[in-house]
Structure 1
Amino acid sequence: MPARVAVVGEALIDIVHDPYDLVEEHVGGSPLNVAVGLARLGVSVDFATTIGDDLRGDRIQEHLADRGVHLLPTSHTDDPTTTAVARLDETGAAEYEFDLHFDLPPLDLAPDVGHLHTGSIGAQLQPGAANVLAAVEAVRTQGTVSYDPNIRPTIMGPVDEVRPKVEAIVAMSDVVKASSDDLEFLYPGDSATAVMQRWCGLGARLAVVTLGAHGVVYELAETGEAGSHPTRALDVVDTVGAGDSFMAGLISGLLDAGLLGGPDARERWSTSRLADVEPAIERGLACSAVTVGHPGAYSPTLDELPATTRS
């Protein structure tokens, strides 16, 4: 049976005010988007987060259920559901105000969970971040881990406080994916190559950096091999959720390749080569290409991907 995947991190409601004071609300949060993306690709997903006993929490729960994600019961809390208010000016630039609540309880993950993904605000924001870290440590005894820092400087604090926390999780992760914006904050002036080598030295088996319109670069720790691929995106409506969609496709592809999903998968990294991970990279790029062709954080199914990236 394929390994069950747990995703741990924040879920929230984006409240968007346009320049004409029209207001729309959307379900969001980077870990939530990854959980939905994986479920849409046919992966069995448990999602651990915090949502309130309110209408916005109900909306998130319905959103997940409609897309096949199992929300862990411990995700319900007494706090209000987290919101992010975005006020757009006439150029489309946004100013954000967050009402954050992430008091994640200790997690009792299913024994068949073979892979855990985490990242973003939930892996940094206390008090919940301590239990995110505990979940990572627990899953490492029975499976594999992936991580996306997804840095939010205005929320997470100064770089000297954020970087050690990021690197502590990198050191326990098999796969790490970051954006060029993440690297500019964490390691100003360093090249993507230098950061990938640093992270592989800390313990990551595969380090990946997304470069927006310039595609993706990646490095395999075992052999030191590096590669790059151009973007697959042709028509871009917006880039909301593109990085999360790439992450879901990458995890899905590595699960299919037997490189994620349990202790045996971790052992396979010792004999893996760049050719073994490239199909997963291609699936990630194909997923993000579909996402940017739709408004909002759209998550494709396998049937929407090119045939060459489905297996």
Structure 2
Amino acid sequence: MTSRQITVLGECVADAFTESAPTAHELALRVQPGGGPANTAVALARLGTSARLLARLSGDVFGRLFRGHLEASGVDLTYAVEADEPSTLAVAELDAQGQAAYSFHAQNTADWQWTPGELARVDLSGTACVHTGSLALVRQPGAAAVEDFLAAAAPGATISIDPNVRPLLVRPEVYRARLAHWCHLADVLRLSEDDLELLLPGSSPDKACDVWHAAGVRLVVVTRGADGVLASLDGERFLVPAVPADVVDTVGAGDSFTAGLLHHLGARGLLGGRLTHLRLDDVADACRFASRVAALTCSVPGANPPWQSQVEQLVTAERA
């Protein structure tokens, strides 16, 4: 168990996966708890990190599902808000490669209604790292309160951001307009290759890293699916190959990778400031660990990240 907590801020989303129905004129849905920040908090807790989720949880059927799932995984919900608004729903259809295409039902839902007062009561004195991303950073009316919370947290905690661009809900230019400010606040920027193309169309990963370093972020990590991971620490770069996996679907893989990265750094006492003592070897080790966590997530349906014991079993099998 790490000595200091990682606090995650953001949405819980009901992921409804389409399935075959008894007749041609019906549609069956299998609903699982999801949402990038919630997935990251669950993965952190299962890996053994003290993880707290700042979320606005509805009292509806999906909100109750989220709460049970988070508590069963060991996530601290001390500062979760009991929200009156409904939960956010995402309907996901998987292709032959296990990639999900989403449609969102997110109008006026609980996740985006953060107020400054709700976040002002959060005690971060025991927090080494604050992680956020995805829609909580860009969906109004709560996005401004979230940014102000990050700015207030930055002097005492490492700030980690995953943009997780969702163009069906928020236009990519909204993310682009805020990205330089996020890089000024953040110490860690983790994003996918798809995010990179939406944020800096036509730019190479190396060029993108240069742009984001210049804006202020020290560590940039780009996950590239089967092509592995590109990591850049103050402009020093390396590639980590992907861990082989029998892919069922890729839902939650990026969130699990982020959790593995932060867990590994936190367990070694490297979180809690501006990453002053972080070395390239530390990042490489963390990325290798995170890749194992992501591979195990891909091997099961939905966003169901592994427990620490499962990661240890994978490491043992690799050494055999």
Question: Is the 1:9–1:120 Cα contact (8 Å) retained in structure 2?
Answer: yes
Instruction: Give SS of 1:171's match.
Output: helix
Matches within 5 A, 1:31-42: 31-42=37-48
**Of 143, 168, 180, the match for 1:129:** 143
Q: Is 1:268 aligned with 2:282?
A: no
Tell me, in whole angstroms, the C-alpha distance in 2 between the residues paired with 1:78 and 1:307. Answer: 42
Tell me, in whole angstroms, the C-alpha distance in 2 between the residues paired with 1:90 and 1:39. Answer: 31
Tell me, in whole angstroms, the C-alpha distance in 2 between the residues paired with 1:187 and 1:307. Answer: 39
Matches within 5 A, 1:161-240: 161-221=174-234, 224-240=235-251
Question: Is the 2:297–2:304 Cα contact (8 Å) retained in structure 1?
Answer: yes
Q: Is 1:13 aligned with 2:14?
A: yes
Instruction: Give SS of 2:196's match.
Output: helix
Q: What does residue 24 of structure 2 align with?
A: none
Letter paired with 2:7? A
Instruction: Give SS of 2:270's match.
Output: coil
Offset at residue 19 of structure 1 (A): 5.0
Q: What does residue 22 of structure 1 align with?
A: 28
Question: Is the 2:161–2:188 Cα contact (8 Å) retained in structure 1?
Answer: yes
Q: Is 1:103 aligned with 2:113?
A: yes
Offset at residue 233 of structure 1 (A): 2.5
Offset at residue 273 of structure 1 (A): 2.7
- The number of residues matched between the two structures is 302
Question: Is the 2:37–2:133 Cα contact (8 Å) retained in structure 1?
Answer: yes
Question: Is the 2:158–2:275 Cα contact (8 Å) retained in structure 1?
Answer: no
Letter paired with 1:164? A
Letter paired with 1:10? E
Offset at residue 255 of structure 1 (A): 0.9
Q: CA RMSD in A?
A: 2.2
Offset at residue 18 of structure 1 (A): 3.0
Question: Is the 1:123–1:129 Cα contact (8 Å) retained in structure 2?
Answer: yes
| Structure-2-length-normalised TM-score | 0.88
| Distance change (3 Å), C-alpha of 1:24 and 1:219 | same
| Distance change (3 Å), C-alpha of 1:74 and 1:41 | closer
Question: Is the 1:19–1:87 Cα contact (8 Å) retained in structure 2?
Answer: no
Q: What does residue 173 of structure 2 align with?
A: 160
Moved more, 237-246 or 92-101: 92-101
| Distance change (3 Å), C-alpha of 1:245 and 1:95 | closer
| Structure-1-length-normalised TM-score | 0.90
Offset at residue 74 of structure 1 (A): 4.3
Offset at residue 298 of structure 1 (A): 1.7
| Distance change (3 Å), C-alpha of 1:296 and 1:135 | same
Instruction: Give SS of 2:3's match.
Output: coil
Runs of 4+ in 1 over 4 A off after TM superposition: 87-93, 306-310
| Deviation readout 1:13-70 (Å, 9 max, x if unpaired) | 1223335311211111000000000000111111111221212111111110000001
Letter paired with 1:155? L
| Distance change (3 Å), C-alpha of 1:297 and 1:197 | same
Unaligned runs of 5+ in 2: 22-26
Q: What does residue 254 of structure 1 align with?
A: 265
Tell me, in whole angstroms, the C-alpha distance in 2 between the residues paired with 1:230 and 1:240. Answer: 20
Offset at residue 307 of structure 1 (A): 7.4
Moved more, 97-106 or 84-93: 84-93
